[in-house]
């Protein structure tokens, strides 16, 4: 194995650049609790700021060919876990039904971070509540593939989010599978300042309407308000059968936003995160309609 010093200044970590998926899984299996995957490193590098300990060993997965590929088929899109936000936004730019994901990947953080941060890292950073790609992929009904030295399995993103903090050692998220549809989708986020900040709240939505603009199907996800992003199922149900209208959708959202309790943080009081949701619903619905 190729190993080298992880950090300068006396830390004794090692950094293994895996040339293939099989070698990455072997290394993660060998390292056990001492090791972890290293994708873009943009979350890992800030561990000291969060008062978290770095792992003794990292397995760099960024140059493994199959983890860096995007495959666009007629019925689904497969995204390798090590695809960066910038590469993803550029590859999906011409697919209108994936506008929600293009916008999530293309508007998060800042250009330098987007060139490094990966979609797999965004989904796997279990204590990161403001990840843009998580609600975007929830509203797209995405599945994820998880591999270990002993095999692989596919599960819904929702199931993955419920178990990611206790995922067995040696496991790696390898790809994200997004079914294609004719839905209209959009991503609306509210950063504290104009750019470069984590969002206070996120609404990602995917809507299907009939020829008279009545909603047939709705999937709406809320990010950054609670600790983990989740679907807003009551709002989805309330919108069914109604004419798609941004102001009306915001009114309905205002009546339901009380089900969210904002997470504690130093940036804003908890109530503020839930209070901005109706405005984001209005913006996202208007964007989905192309208004
Ligand atoms: C200043 C700044 C602002 C940012 N703003 C935003 C923002 O607004 N919105 C947003 O979405 N993101 C934002 N980010 C990026 C975000 O914070 C994370 O840093 C990023 O999404 C993590 O991706 P990564 O590839 O760098 O992961 P890494 O830092 O490499 O890893 C993150 C965690 O996931 C694990 N991991 C990585 N890949 C895998 C895998 N394939 N399988 C299993 N586990 C894995 C790692 O072991 C680690 O625990 C910002 C980052 C910075 C520094």
Is the minimum distance from the CB of 43 to ligand 1 under 6 angstroms?
A: yes
pLDDT in tens, 139-167: 999 999 999 999 999 999 999 999 998 88
Q: Average pLDDT over the chain, rounded to whole?
A: 93
Q: For residues 186 and 21, what is the distance between their CA atoms, to the nearest angstrom?
A: 33
Q: Are 118 and 212 in contact (CB under 8 A)?
A: no
Q: For residues 64 and 198, what is the distance between their CA atoms, to the nearest angstrom?
A: 29
| pLDDT score, position 241 | 97
Q: Are 102 and 89 in contact (CB under 8 A)?
A: yes
| pLDDT score, position 11 | 46
Which CATH architecture is the domain 65-179 placed in?
A: 2-Layer Sandwich (3.30)
* CA–centroid distance, residue 126 to ligand 1 (Å): 10
Question: Would the CA dihedral through 24, 27, 33, 36 be positive or negative?
Answer: negative
Angle between helices 246-256 and 277-289 in degrees, nearest 10: 150
pLDDT band at 1 (very low <50, low <70, confident <90, very high): very low
Is the minimum distance from the CB of 144 to ligand 1 under 6 angstroms?
A: no
pLDDT band at 2 (very low <50, low <70, confident <90, very high): very low
| pLDDT score, position 26 | 97
Q: What burial class does residue 78 get, using C-beta atoms within 10 Å of its C-beta: 0-12 exposed, 13-18 middle, 19+ buried?
A: middle
- A 10 A CB-CB count for 167 gives 15
> What is the mean predicted confidence (pLDDT) over 38-64?
96
| pLDDT score, position 196 | 62
CATH, domain range 14-60: 3.30.43.10
Q: What phi and psi, each to the nearest 5 degrees, are found at residue 189?
A: -135, 150
Domain with CATH 3.30.43.10 in the chain: 14-60
| pLDDT score, position 3 | 45
Q: What ligand 1 atom has the least distance to the C-alpha of 196?
A: 3
Of 49-53, 84-88, 227-231, the range with the lowest mean pLDDT is 49-53
Q: Specify the DSSP element, H or E, that contains 201.
A: strand 199-209
Domain with CATH 3.30.390.50 in the chain: 184-289
CATH superfamily of 184-289: CO dehydrogenase flavoprotein, C-terminal domain (3.30.390.50)
Q: Specify the DSSP element, H or E, that contains 157.
A: helix 157-163
- Reply yes or no on whether the pLDDT at 9 is more than 70: no
Q: For residues 243 and 68, what is the distance between their CA atoms, to the nearest angstrom?
A: 41
pLDDT in tens, 235-262: 999 999 999 999 999 999 999 999 999 9
> What is the mean predicted confidence (pLDDT) over 265-269?
91
- A 10 A CB-CB count for 95 gives 15
Domain with CATH 3.30.465.10 in the chain: 65-179
* CA–centroid distance, residue 45 to ligand 1 (Å): 9
Of 1-5, 129-133, 181-185, 254-258, the range with the lowest mean pLDDT is 1-5
Q: For residues 154 and 197, what is the distance between their CA atoms, to the nearest angstrom?
A: 32
Q: The pTM is what?
A: 0.95
Is the minimum distance from the CB of 58 to ligand 1 under 6 angstroms?
A: no
What is residue 2's DSSP assignment?
Answer: -
> What is the mean predicted confidence (pLDDT) over 109-127?
96
């Amino acid at each position: 194995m190729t190993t080298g010093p992880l950090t300068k200044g006396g830390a004794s970590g090692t950094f293994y650049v895996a040339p293939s998926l099989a070698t990455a899984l072997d290394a993660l299996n060998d390292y056990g609790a001492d090791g972890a995957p290293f994708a873009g490193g943009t979350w890992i590098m800030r561990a000291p700021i969060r008062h978290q300990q770095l792992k003794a060993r990292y397995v760099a997965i960024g140059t493994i060919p199959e983890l860096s590929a995007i495959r666009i088929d007629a019925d689904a899109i497969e995204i390798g876990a090590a695809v960066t936000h910038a590469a993803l936004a550029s590859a999906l730019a011409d697919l209108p039904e994936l506008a929600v994901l293009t916008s999530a990947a293309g508007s998060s953080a800042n250009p330098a971070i987007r060139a490094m941060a990966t979609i797999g890292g965004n989904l796997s950073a279990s204590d990161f509540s403001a990840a843009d790609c998580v609600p975007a992929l929830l509203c797209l009904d995405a599945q994820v593939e998880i591999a270990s030295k002993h095999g692989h399995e596919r599960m819904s993103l929702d199931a993955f989010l419920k178990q990611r903090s206790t995922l067995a050692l040696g496991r790696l998220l390898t790809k994200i599978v997004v079914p294609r549809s004719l839905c209209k989708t959009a991503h609306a986020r509210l950063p504290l300042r104009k750019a470069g900040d984590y969002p206070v709240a996120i609404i990602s939505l995917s809507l299907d309407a009939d020829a008279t603009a009545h909603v047939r199907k709705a999937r709406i996800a809320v990010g950054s308000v609670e600790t983990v992003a989740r679907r807003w199922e009551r709002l989805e149900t309330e919108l069914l059968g109604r004419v798609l209208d941004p102001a009306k959708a915001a009114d309905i959202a205002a009546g339901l936003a009380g089900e969210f309790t904002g997470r504690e943080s130093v940036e804003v009081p908890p109530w503020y995160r839930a209070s901005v949701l109706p405005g984001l619903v209005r913006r996202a619905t208007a964007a989905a309609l192309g208004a």
